[in-house]
Amino acid sequence: MKKTGLILGALALSLVGLVALSGQVEAYRGDPSVKGPDYSEERHQAMTQAFENHDYEAWKELMQNRGRAMQVVNQDNFDRFAEAHQLAQEGKLDEAKQIREELGLGLRNGSGKGQRGEGMGRCNK
């Protein structure tokens, strides 16, 4: 009986930790006032330069093939993504959020362009 209680307690504690961690990880996405886990002043300056110059290749290299944005943002839609970044920097979070949603970023339900609801990867019968 004691073992079961310890195991359940450990599982509950692990679940609470995962929920807390996922909240922190999600918090920085789309909000320029929250620093992400890979933040450094040098990387921030390089990212800012990539957005200002609309330099997709520089941004892509800085991202190191990590994150949801790498699955969604490409050469064709990077200018729109850079526009969302600029709007967020200006404090226009609603406008930036609208562009992010259009691109399929920052959505908890998976909807957005190229995601569920667009018929991609689904068999419509």
The total number of structural domains that make up the chain: 2
Which range of residues forms the domain containing residue 11?
Answer: 1-30
Cβ atoms of 47 and 58 closer than 8 Å:
no
DSSP assigned state of 67? S
Do 106 and 68 belong together in one domain?
yes
Do 52 and 92 belong together in one domain?
yes
Do 57 and 118 belong together in one domain?
yes
Do 26 and 43 belong together in one domain?
no
Write the pLDDT tens digit of every residue in 87-116: 999 999 999 999 999 999 865 544 444 433
Rounded Cα distance between 101 and 90, Å, is 18
Write the pLDDT tens digit of every residue in 14-47: 554 544 443 333 334 567 778 878 789 999 999 9
pTM passes above 0.75: no
Do 43 and 10 belong together in one domain?
no
Do 63 and 109 belong together in one domain?
yes
